[in-house]
Amino acid sequence: MKKKDYLRTVLIVAIFFLAVGGWLLHMRIHIPAEDAENYIPFVAGFISVFVVPVLFIFRSTISFAYLITGMTVIIGTIMMTHFTIENPPQEWTLKTVFLGTLLADIILLWGKFAVGKALFELELAVNQPDAPMRRGRFFRFPNMGFWFVHVVTLTAVYLIGGYFWK
Q: Would you state the pLDDT for residue 142?
A: 65
Q: Would you state the pLDDT for residue 159?
A: 81
Q: Would you state the pLDDT for residue 149?
A: 81
> pLDDT tens for residues 90-131?
888 998 888 888 888 899 999 999 999 999 888 877 766 666
Rounded-to-integer distance, Cα 124 and Cα 57, Å: 14
Is residue 149 situated within a structural domain?
Answer: no
Rounded-to-integer distance, Cα 126 and Cα 103, Å: 34
pTM of the model: 0.83
Q: Do the beta carbons of residue 15 and residue 119 sit within 8 Å?
A: yes
Phi, psi of 4 (to 5 degrees): -60, -45
Strand, helix or coil for residue 162: helix
Is residue 164 situated within a structural domain?
Answer: no
CA dihedral 101, 104, 106, 108 (to 10 degrees): -160
Residue-number span of the structural domain to which 33 is assigned: 3-135
Low-confidence ranges of the chain (pLDDT < 50): none
Rounded-to-integer distance, Cα 57 and Cα 65, Å: 9
Is residue 146 situated within a structural domain?
Answer: no
Residue 106's closest CA among 141, 148, 74? 74
Is residue 29 situated within a structural domain?
Answer: yes
Residue 147's closest CA among 96, 77, 43? 77
Q: Would you state the pLDDT for residue 137?
A: 67
- Considering its fold, how many domains does the chain have in total? 1
Is residue 78 situated within a structural domain?
Answer: yes
